[in-house]
Amino acid sequence: MELVVDIGNSDVVFGLFTQEEPRLVFRTPSQRDLPASEYEKRIRAWFLENALSYSDISGIIISSVVPNLTPVMEEVVERLFSVQPLLAGPAIYKGLSLKIKNPYEIGSDLVANATAAFTYHQSAAIVVDFGTALSFTVVSAKGEILGVNIAPGIKTAMKSLFQETAQLPIIPLEYPTTFIGRDTVQAIQAGILVGYVGLVKEVINKIKEQEPGESFKVIATGGLSLVLEPLKEVFDQTDPHLTLKGLHLMYQKQF
């Protein structure tokens, strides 16, 4: 059984794989200042709750877009499982070519998204990841990563509005039923959620305009991928575990 670890800016997500779909997934906040012992405690609790045994883990891959947490998590999994983890990075990006300036700059989570999209669909793809950042990873029909677009994630935009103003509250991320806010919560929901639907559509349209020869599948993933209901019709597929699955594929492609 393989353990896949996706260290994002909001959460660390762990997935256990024996086949294409993860058997179990565990999500825990990615706090940059926590010691290894705290993450070890959380993984131990997860294994205990699910009656899993450490010796069942035969391989591990870690993707991290939070450099401080990379050595912490490497230390934890080596100690718990006595397995040397593979670290997702340019040395193991197999099967995709990167048409970007610097392969070390792109987030390994985004390469994992592209790997899964291209492996499953064998077509050009735009992967929209609704994480701490909102990202668009563009893959050609030849399996080249053409580039990435990055905007603040939905929750990140909402939190920064709260932090930068005296009177605006944190609001539930629910798509509004009215587009003219009659109280502050409605006003922010209408501004952010309706605005983000437009942002996503416009970025996808511009990507398509720039690459008229490609026929893109549009795939959504990330913790907030279901929040913008009107985008359902824009996405060919929504897969909350796409990044984990891409990392698992990346692991398998090494052997």
Ligand X SMILES: Nc1ncnc2c1ncn2[C@@H]1O[C@H](COP(=O)(O)OP(=O)(O)O)[C@@H](O)[C@H]1O
Ligand Y SMILES: CC(C)(COP(=O)(O)O)[C@@H](O)C(=O)NCCC(=O)O
Numbered residues of the known binding site for ATP? 6-13, 132
Whether residue 183 lies in the annotated active site: no
Binder among 23, 150, 169, 254 for ligand Y (CB under 6 A): 150
Binding residues: 6-13, 107-110, 129, 132, 184
Catalytic residue among 109, 183, 236, 239: 109
> Mask 17-56, x = binds ligand Y (CB under 6 A)?
----------------------------------------
Q: Does 109 bind ligand Y (CB under 6 A)?
A: yes
**DSSP 8-state assignment for residue 131:** S
Residue 55 near residue 72 (C-beta atoms within 8 A): no
* 107: amino acid identity, one letter: G
Nearer to ligand X, 11 or 75 (CB): 11
Distance CA 196, CA 91 (A): 35
Q: What are phi and psi of 218, to 5 degrees?
A: -110, 120
Distance CA 125, CA 121 (A): 8
Binder among 135, 140, 189, 225 for ligand Y (CB under 6 A): 135
Give the closest residue to 6 by CA, choosing from 55, 54, 79, 77.
Answer: 77
Binder among 11, 40, 75, 211 for ligand X (CB under 6 A): 11
Segment contacting ligand Y (CB under 6 A): 41-49, 107-115, 180-188, 232-240? 107-115
Distance CA 114, CA 243 (A): 9
Binder among 107, 131, 143, 246 for ligand X (CB under 6 A): 131
User: Residue 152 Cβ, how far from ligand X at the closest point, in Å?
Assistant: 11
Q: What are phi and psi of 2, to 5 degrees?
A: -105, 140
Q: Which does 223 bind (CB under 5 to 8 A by kind): K ion, ligand X, ligand Y, none?
A: ligand X
Beta strands 125-130; 59-64: pairing state: unpaired
User: Residue 164 Cβ, how far from ligand Y at the closest point, in Å?
Assistant: 20
Q: Does 28 bind ligand X (CB under 6 A)?
A: no
> Please, what is the angle between helix 242-252 and helix 108-121, to 10°?
80
Distance CA 136, CA 147 (A): 8
Q: Does 9 bind ligand Y (CB under 6 A)?
A: yes
Catalytic residues, by residue number, are 109
